[in-house]
């Protein structure tokens, strides 16, 4: 793991410095960011072996930042830092594309151990083709060639899950887990209604290609 680059995204300057110093003492290269927008700009440059991402950022929810990364085909392992460690919070972190989480307060040695495990099992994947679509976690917006479309939080999470798996069938159950809090009852046709709205917004944003296709009895595929 020595020499690997890690992006640390934390708005608390004191904690950010403690984490960065601890990682550098372990011979890691560290880049820091204080908000979601800066994190997305940094991670787009590539080269990171892992991202340490706080959930409570000043401009966005860290889970939405992770979802935007996954929607762009950025597969770098993500470890969430969170002050909320209840089961629904943990499950929503994994549903957003996270690989691990660590509750505050924590010891830097445990953070290092988790990072080592993540980096060991991380397998780089090629980024998705650039289709001109971008998710903005701060405004919950979809940006496309024809302009911006506002998304509800549920629409944002559903579209992120589909964009993160281009060409693959995402099962209905996986989409429900991504879009709604753990344990919430979701009617069968509710997901279909949201997908219909997303199709309209993708078209308005200028998305090209087939878009969201229905795989009857299974789920949906974005291509």
For 63-110, the pLDDT digits (tens) are: 999 999 999 999 999 999 998 778 888 888 998 999 999 999 999 999
Task: Decide: pTM greater than 0.75.
Answer: yes
pLDDT of residue 170: 94
Give the chain's domains with CATH numbers: 5-121 (3.40.50.2300), 134-222 (1.10.10.10)
Mean pLDDT over 50-75 rounds to 95
Token pair of 84, please? 């909320």
- Rounded to a whole number of angstroms, the distance between the first and last alpha carbons of the chain is 36
**Residue the block writes with tokens 């809090």:** 181
CB pairs under 8 A, 24+ apart, for 41-47?
42/7, 43/7, 43/69, 43/74, 43/76, 44/72, 44/74, 47/5
């Amino acid at each position: 793991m020595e020499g690997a680059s890690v992006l640390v995204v934390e708005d608390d300057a004191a904690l950010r410095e403690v984490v960065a110093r601890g990682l550098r003492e372990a011979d890691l290269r560290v880049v820091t960011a204080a908000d979601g927008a800066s994190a997305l700009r940094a991670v787009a440059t590539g080269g990171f072996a892992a991202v340490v991402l706080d959930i409570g950022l000043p401009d966005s929810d860290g889970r939405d930042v992770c979802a935007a990364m996954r929607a762009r085909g950025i597969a770098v392992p993500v470890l969430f830092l969170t002050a909320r460690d209840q089961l629904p919070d943990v499950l929503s972190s994994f549903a957003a594309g996270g690989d691990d989480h660590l509750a505050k307060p924590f010891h830097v040695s445990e953070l290092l151990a988790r990072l080592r495990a993540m980096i060991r099992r991380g397998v780089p994947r090629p980024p998705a083709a650039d289709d001109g679509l971008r998710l903005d976690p701060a405004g919950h917006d979809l940006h496309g060639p024809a302009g911006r479309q506002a998304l509800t939080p549920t629409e944002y999470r559903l579209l992120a899950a589909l964009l993160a798996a281009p060409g693959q069938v995402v099962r209905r159950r996986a989409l429900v887990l991504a879009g709604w809090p753990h344990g919430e009852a979701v009617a069968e046709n509710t997901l279909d209604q949201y997908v219909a709205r997303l199709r309209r917004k993708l078209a308005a944003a200028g998305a090209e290609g087939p878009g969201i296709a229905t795989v009857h009895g299974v789920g949906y595929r974005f291509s």
